[in-house]
Structure 1
């Protein structure tokens, strides 16, 4: 990749990260297969080189959920039995389960409880250590 192409790619990522920041539920999800930047209702960017976009999202203040360090079976349970993040659309009313849309904070809390790295999303007081 040429230097000009690299600058153009980073500029494009910056624009999409800004869109994600302006979108309710916008976030970066990283797993064993790569990353997904959720930046609008039905809008997402997928890729494999996770570290550069992860660093850019963290620096911009965008929530990041990185499940690469979580046991595969735990991630599979979360994906198959848990709700999806409502991105750019209102969440479904509780209870949340498979095929429903929940607030980002609720889904992130489930991933955090499984051992995922969750950045730029405060830990709820009820889940805080010693709380």
Structure 2
């Protein structure tokens, strides 16, 4: 079953994190919003999480590409952009949103970085 990573613990940890993110993304698109870009970003997030989740169960040469898109997009880029936005809000409007969104975004950024380091350590790439 595990032909993607050399460590089974990381395989199941990564699978659980991607599964939880997929369920959270599905819950996120069910929220009502009038802003079109938020709906589009929600759909893109669901698609990226779904591709990463399906990559665990298929044997394609694109699996690691989907994992990299997931790790860089959902794991690093998304929380980094949120942190930049929170810094912008603090500087321009003197609002500090630490308890609400800042700490979860920081946690997601650290988790994404740790997962990226572990991914690069344990991945098994086949030359096809």
TM-score, with structure 2 as normaliser: 0.31
- Whichever structure has more helix as a proportion of its residues is 2
Q: Which has the larger radius of gyration?
A: 2
The structure, 1 or 2, with the larger RCO (C-alpha pairs under 8 Å, 6+ apart) is 2
- Whichever structure has more strand as a proportion of its residues is 1
